[in-house]
């Protein structure tokens, strides 16, 4: 009895969190709103199907309601595919022709009162066809990932690939349950809860919508990495980061690119903004100076100014943000005796 209670709580937590994410995505006004809505439909379709699994595991659910829940799976696949297209191709509006992919979903919903769902052979065939339909769109989504793999923005591609991996895992689990390889029926709901919280964590850690701001840029991955090497060369050879007035605009001008392109290069490849990128080089130099015998008697302020910082406070904050200790603590821990 206790185990069933724990399983019920874990499963319901995933459904509640998924519904919260759906609401968030539907109401989000920044970023690619069309892509946000498509992702919300993917989560909503899975949530409805998982919710049916939870209730059916504990109480008897009317066959017509079970069919409506199953029909949601027929919407997951197309919206998963649409999500990828809208992320990378930035289509403002999908044509009516593309929404033809939702006809199986609409047909299943309309016919749900008469479609058998009582465990007989016809019910089994209908269930198999529904998951075969999802499998087909998962394959389409993977094909799309491989198709755009060399030309798209790496972080955004990683995000979409993680979404497709999650849906693929859910599909594999339910196929295993369908074929009798996995006897634990509620495992699908528990796994869904885990995946939903993983997605939530990723959204909080590295907000995917911030990655979309460079979606219209013509800067491809190869060029982006080449520019990054030029920036690194500039910093390593000429120590440009030591200049007090170093800025996104000044470095971009030296490289003959726009500030927006430079920001994109650093954000996509280093997962830092320009200020964090510059401070990384300054802190690296500061570490060397703090333990340098010639600087052993120098004040922390002198090290800060010699590393390009305008004042000691910003130096201390930047140093602790990267190393989790203060410059004084670093010097004491690494003091040469």
Query: How confident is the model at residue 16, as a pLDDT?
Result: 78
232 and 275 fall within a common domain? yes
CB 290 within 8 A of CB 327: yes
What is the domain count for the chain?
A: 2
151 and 83 fall within a common domain? yes
**Global pTM exceeds 0.85:** no
181 and 39 fall within a common domain? yes
196 and 286 fall within a common domain? no
154 and 114 fall within a common domain? yes
Query: How confident is the model at residue 2, as a pLDDT?
Result: 47
Question: Which residue among 153, 183, 214 closes a domain?
Answer: 214
Query: How confident is the model at residue 285, as a pLDDT?
Result: 92
282 and 314 fall within a common domain? yes
Question: Which residue among 189, 214, 239 closes a domain?
Answer: 214
144 and 249 fall within a common domain? no
Query: How confident is the model at residue 259, as a pLDDT?
Result: 86
Query: How confident is the model at residue 28, as a pLDDT?
Result: 77
User: Given its phi and psi angles, is residue 31 left (phi above 0), alpha (psi -120 to 50 degrees) or beta?
Assistant: left
Domain residues for 308? 221-333
204 and 314 fall within a common domain? no
Using H for helix, E for strand and C for coil, what is the string for the chain?
CHHHHHHHHHHHHHHHHHHHHHHHHHHCCCCCHHHHHHHHHHHHHHHHHHHHHHHHHHCCCCHHHHHHHHHCHHHHHHHHHHHHHHHHHCCCCCCCCHHHHHHHHHHHHHHCCCCCCCCCHHHHHHHHHHHHHHHHHHHHHHHHHHHHCCCCCHHHHHHHHHHHHHHHHHHHHHHHHHCCCCCCCCHHHHHHHHHHHHHHHHHHHCCHHHHHHHCCCCCCHHHHHHHHHHHHHHHHHHCHHHCCCCCHHHHHHHHCCCHHHHHHHHHHHHCCCHHHHHHHHHHHHHHHHHCCHHHCCCCHHHHHHHCCCCCHHHHHHHHHHHHCCCHHHHHHHCCCC
329 and 187 fall within a common domain? no
Query: How confident is the model at residue 7, as a pLDDT?
Result: 56
Question: Which residue among 214, 248, 267 closes a domain?
Answer: 214
Please report, in tens digits, the pLDDT of each residue of the chain (337 residues total).
Answer: 545 555 556 666 767 777 888 888 888 776 678 888 898 899 888 888 777 666 666 666 677 878 888 888 899 999 999 999 888 875 556 677 788 999 999 999 998 888 887 777 888 888 889 889 999 999 999 999 988 875 555 667 888 888 899 889 888 887 887 777 766 655 655 666 677 777 776 665 555 555 555 555 666 677 878 888 998 998 988 888 888 888 889 998 988 888 888 888 888 778 788 888 999 999 999 999 998 888 888 899 999 999 999 889 999 999 998 888 999 999 888 775 5
CATH code for the domain of 9: 1.20.1070.10
Looking up tokens 């190869």 gives 222
Reading the block at residue 64, the tokens are 């017509």
304 and 288 fall within a common domain? yes
Those residues whose C-beta lies under 8 Å from the C-beta of residue 128, and which sit 6 or more positions away, are 178
Distances in Å between the Cα of 30 and the Cα atoms of 33, 153, 214 are 7, 19, 13
Task: Count how many residues are written for the chain.
Answer: 337
Q: Angle between the 121-148 and 154-178 helix axes, to the nearest 10 degrees? A: 160
206 and 229 fall within a common domain? no
82 and 205 fall within a common domain? yes
């Amino acid at each position: 009895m206790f185990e069933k209670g724990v399983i019920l709580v874990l499963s319901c937590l995933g459904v509640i969190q998924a519904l919260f994410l759906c609401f968030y995505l539907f109401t989000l006004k920044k970023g690619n709103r069309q892509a946000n809505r498509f992702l919300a439909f993917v989560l909503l379709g899975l949530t409805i199907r998982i919710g049916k699994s939870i209730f059916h595991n504990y109480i008897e659910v009317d066959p017509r309601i079970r069919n409506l829940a199953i029909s949601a799976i027929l919407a997951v696949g197309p919206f998963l595919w649409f999500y990828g297209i809208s992320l990378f191709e930035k289509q403002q509006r999908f044509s009516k022709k593309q929404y033809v992919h939702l006809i199986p979903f609409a047909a299943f919903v309309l016919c749900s009162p008469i479609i058998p769902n009582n465990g007989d052979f016809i019910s089994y065939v209908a269930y198999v066809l529904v998951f075969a339909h999802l499998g087909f769109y998962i394959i389409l989504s993977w094909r799309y990932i491989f198709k755009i793999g060399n030309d798209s923005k790496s972080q955004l591609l990683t995000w979409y690939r993680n979404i497709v991996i999650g849906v693929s895992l859910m599909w594999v689990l339910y196929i295993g349950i369908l074929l009798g390889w996995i006897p634990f029926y509620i495992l699908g709901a528990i796994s869904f809860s885990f995946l939903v919280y993983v997605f939530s964590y990723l959204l909080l850690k590295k907000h995917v919508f911030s990655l979309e701001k460079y979606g219209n840029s013509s800067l491809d991955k190869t060029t982006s990495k080449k520019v990054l090497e030029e920036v690194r060369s500039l910093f390593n050879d000429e120590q440009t980061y030591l200049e007090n007035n170093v800025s996104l605009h000044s470095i971009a001008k030296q490289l003959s690119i726009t500030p927006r392109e430079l920001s994109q290069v650093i954000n996509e490849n280093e997962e830092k903004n320009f200020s964090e990128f510059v401070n990384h080089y300054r802190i690296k130099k500061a570490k060397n100076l703090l333990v340098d015998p010639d600087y052993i008697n120098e004040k922390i302020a002198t090290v800060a100014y010699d590393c390009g910082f305008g004042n000691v406070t910003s130096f201390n904050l930047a140093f602790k943000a990267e190393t989790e200790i203060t410059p004084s603590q670093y010097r004491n821990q690494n003091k040469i005796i």
